[in-house]
Amino acid sequence: MGIIKSLLTNDQSIKNVPRLVIGAPQGRSGKTTFTLGLLRAFARQGLAVQPFKKGPDYIDASWHSAAAGKTCRNLDSFFMNKTQICSSILDQASDKQITIIEGAMGLYDGLDLQGSSSTAEIAKVTCTPVLFVVDATRMTRSIAAMVMGYQHFDPDVKIVGVVLNKVARARHEKVAREAIEEFCKIPVVGAIPKDANLCIPDRHLGLVTNGEYAETEKLLDYLADVISEHVDLTKIFALAQNAPELPSYSESIVLNSSPDLSFKNRSIRPKIGIIQDAAFSFYYQENIEILKRRADVVSISALLDNQLPDNLDALYIGGGFPEVFAQRLEANCLLRDEIRLAGEKGLPIYAECGGLMYLGRSIRTSTQNYEMVGLLPFDTQMEGKPQGHGYTIMETSPDQLWFPDKTQIRGHEFHNSRVINLAPNLKFGFKVKRGHGIDGQHDGLCYKNIFAAYNHIHALGCPEWAEGLINMAILYSNTRWSKAKKISG
């Protein structure tokens, strides 16, 4: 800790954010386990570490937050512009001592030939050096050829160091290290041995959430022990310190900025409930924060609470794994009944993916059928492979109350369930331009003041979502208090 702290400077400008992107040649190279161990190792040394995750990822981000003790944010150029990406780094990392951005998939893997929305694009947008994690299995000198190719593929991407993963023995490490440092002219800052314990359980959507895993802290400490022993933390910290200033298009950014929203009545501060528990944990922190600016937000557990809070003006149900907790969700019939009755009476409810599944009649697995809220007339069937996966573009239709008509909305979806037995008279709020949605052409089921979609939205990329939810809550609050006055009068 003493060596690392001696590298700290007290007179850095706010744009001199020490930072690194963690990249790899491909997925399953060990980026996440390395990143988690690195975050925890730095945090244990008393450093304030800010984690970021590239792409639309809730699960890895939750593990990052647990490892660093700081809330992880997502950076994604598909639904965030360059200014928003750099603003997020400034907002969250200006008071931190090091920032770690974990990439996704292979370094240059993106949506098109130009590598749009790739890890490399995030590195270029933010002018952040890359620390390259390579699975060294059955390679020695060839690793240098691989690294050299990644170095020269895009000269604007600066790979500043390599971490060798799954190293077999000392000679394996020696040959690979010497080849990389001789031919690529960059340091090897770590060599992690093969270890079957360096893994996190996963399921169909990726890793299990850290909230489900009983030994999260023990695993994170073990990862940190391995990284501390086999990786040069001081060298990595120095590489991060050498990151250049954030680029010029962030000049006009004001710290803690967020989109300006338009509301129907600014004198009313509605009360919005958010179902947050092990079954529903897929939320972007920015979504919750933007709601808190204009509403009183209360957390609800669909697993433990048997009633909704009093005087609720809207309900937000995010994604998660309702199929994993289906038996417990079914058992909580008191809350399910209360949500159904509230929705029938006009309570605005916005639901994403897992929330959509929860509002239907049932969730069907390969072996059982579990009753859900029953507010919307459909069932969901779990399948063995993704039914919708990737970035989405939706266009809003006039059959919904939540967004301006013909708004183009960028989001993402990742679900192994599909909607079945859907009543024919329901209206859709989204036309699918990219993605799958509910039936390949539509998404966003609309019923009374309810909007339920497979599509996930990030508030920075779609401020209209927050406007819609808060305005629906304000209108409902007005209606509720008008009725109360009539009764009391």
Is the full-model pTM beyond 0.85? Answer: yes
Residue-level pLDDT at 421: 98
Determine the Cα angle at 100 with ends 97 and 104, to 5°: 170
pLDDT at 8 over 80: no
Q: pLDDT tens digit string along 319-351?
A: 999 999 999 999 999 999 999 999 999 999 999
Which of the 8 DSSP states describes residue 158? -
Q: Cα separation of 266 and 385, whole Å?
A: 45
The segment with the largest mean pLDDT, out of 39-53, 241-255, 260-274, is 39-53
pLDDT at 484 over 80: no
Which of the 8 DSSP states describes residue 361? S
Residue type, 15: K
Q: Return the CATH superfamily for domain 271-487.
A: Class I glutamine amidotransferase (GATase) domain (3.40.50.880)
- The answer to whether 122 and 101 have CB atoms below 8 angstroms apart is yes
Spell out the residues 6+ positions from residue 484 whose beta carbon is closer than 8 angstroms to its own. none
- The answer to whether 69 and 45 have CB atoms below 8 angstroms apart is no
Q: pLDDT tens digit string along 406-435?
A: 999 999 999 999 999 999 989 999 999 999
pLDDT at 258 over 80: no
- The answer to whether 36 and 125 have CB atoms below 8 angstroms apart is no
Confidence band of 41 (pLDDT split at 50, 70, 90): very high
- The answer to whether 220 and 29 have CB atoms below 8 angstroms apart is no
Residue type, 161: G
Residue range 118-125: mean pLDDT, rounded: 98
Outline which parts of the chain fall under CATH 3.40.50.300: 16-250
Residue range 231-242: mean pLDDT, rounded: 98
Outline which parts of the chain fall under CATH 3.40.50.880: 271-487
Q: pLDDT tens digit string along 347-383?
A: 999 999 999 999 999 999 989 999 999 999 999 999 9
Helix (H) or strand (E) holding 220: helix 216-230
Residue-level pLDDT at 393: 98
Q: pLDDT tens digit string along 54-79?
A: 999 999 999 999 999 999 999 999 99
Residue-level pLDDT at 250: 44
| Residues designated catalytic | 353
Helix (H) or strand (E) holding 74: strand 73-75
Q: CATH number for the 16-250 domain, one of 3.50.50.60, 3.40.50.300, 3.40.640.10, 1.10.10.10? A: 3.40.50.300
DSSP string, 254-320: PTT-------S-TT---EEEEE-SSSS-B--HHHHHHHHTTSEEEEE-TTT-SSPPTT--EEEE-BS
Lowest mean pLDDT among 120-129, 177-186, 193-202, 249-258: 249-258
Rounded-to-5 percentages of helix, strand, coil across the chain: 35, 25, 45
Tokens of 122: 């995030």
Average pLDDT, the chain: 91
Give me the residues paired with residue 406 across strands: none
Confidence band of 479 (pLDDT split at 50, 70, 90): confident
Q: What percent of the chain has pLDDT over 90?
A: 84
Residue-level pLDDT at 267: 76
